[in-house]
């Protein structure tokens, strides 16, 4: 596959992943599927907007750049048939790095939150974090330590796990585009073969 075609494929995959990350982060503001009365009762990591910013907004721009490569003119640079495409691939590499950092941010926030557990109303009638170092992950009976919001433990665990997986996949895809973009910058794109009257591949 040509480097431009590969980039477009990656961009098309990143768009739905960004949507899932954005949606998962939004749902975290409604623990147990219910509106909470006091925002201070939400887990701190939710306010870091890992899914909204990291896997969402910072991923949309790279994805659109990758998809936009199909409209790139192979020969739009001082008459050099490969210059335009090479520059576009180089630009996509920069955006891929931005996307990788955004996905990494979401991945780290999700991992920390899963290990920490959700903030909830405990048996002593105070709001806090009853779990430590992920001890609740293999002990479902301990989930009763959270009295409110109802089902907050599986809710947070499921959504942050989705963000963890989404962030991990996005990091891999952006890393692939970094390599793909560098190859496109150095070697050109096979779709530029013969464009503008050129006789051979770029």
Interatomic CA distance for residues 38 and 115, integer angstroms: 23
Establish if 196 belongs to a structural domain: no
Establish if 53 belongs to a structural domain: yes
Establish if 94 belongs to a structural domain: yes
pLDDT at 191 over 60: no
CA 20 to chain centre: 9
Q: How many CB atoms lie within 10 A of CB 144?
A: 10
- pLDDT, residue 188, reads 66
Average pLDDT over residues 99-128: 96
- pLDDT, residue 61, reads 93
- pLDDT, residue 68, reads 85
Q: Which domain holds residue 171?
A: 1-29+49-71+84-185
Establish if 194 belongs to a structural domain: no
Establish if 121 belongs to a structural domain: yes
- pLDDT, residue 23, reads 97
Establish if 120 belongs to a structural domain: yes
Question: Buried (b) or exposed (e) across 103-113, using 16+ Cβ within 10 A?
Answer: bbbbbbbbbeb
CB-based burial of residue 95 (10 Å sphere; 0-12 exposed, 13-18 middle, 19+ buried)? buried
- pLDDT, one tens digit per residue, over 119-175 is 999 999 999 999 999 999 999 999 999 999 999 999 999 999 999 999 999 999 999
User: Token match 């896997």: residue?
Assistant: 55
- pLDDT, residue 78, reads 42
Interatomic CA distance for residues 146 and 151, integer angstroms: 8
- pLDDT, residue 160, reads 98
Establish if 132 belongs to a structural domain: yes
Helical axes 3-27 vs 58-68, angle rounded to 10°: 160
Establish if 43 belongs to a structural domain: no
Interatomic CA distance for residues 3 and 189, integer angstroms: 6
- pLDDT, one tens digit per residue, over 39-78 is 999 999 999 999 999 999 999 999 999 998 765 544 444 4
Tokens of 41: 């009762």
Give me the chain's average pLDDT, please: 86
- pLDDT, residue 194, reads 37
Tokens of 195: 């464009």
Q: How many structural domains compose the chain?
A: 1
- pLDDT, residue 77, reads 44
């Amino acid at each position: 596959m040509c480097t431009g075609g590969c980039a477009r494929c990656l961009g098309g995959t990143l768009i739905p992943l960004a949507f899932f990350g954005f949606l998962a982060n939004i749902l975290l503001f409604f623990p147990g599927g219910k509106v909470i009365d006091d925002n201070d009762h939400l887990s701190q990591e939710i306010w870091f907007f890992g899914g909204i910013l990291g896997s969402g907004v910072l991923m949309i721009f790279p994805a659109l750049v990758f998809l936009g490569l199909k409209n790139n003119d192979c020969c739009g640079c001082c008459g050099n048939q490969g210059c335009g495409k090479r520059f576009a691939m180089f630009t996509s590499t920069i955006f891929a790095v931005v996307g990788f950092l955004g996905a990494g941010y979401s991945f780290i926030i999700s991992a920390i939150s899963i290990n920490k557990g959700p903030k909830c109303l405990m048996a002593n009638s105070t709001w806090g974090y009853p779990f430590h170092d992920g001890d609740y992950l293999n002990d479902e009976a301990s989930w009763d330590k959270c009295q409110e919001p109802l089902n907050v433990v599986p809710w947070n665990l499921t959504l942050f796990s989705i963000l963890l997986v989404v962030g991990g996949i996005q990091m891999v895809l952006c890393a692939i585009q970094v390599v793909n973009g560098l190859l496109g910058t150095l070697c050109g794109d096979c779709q530029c073969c013969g464009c503008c009257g050129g006789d051979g591949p770029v």
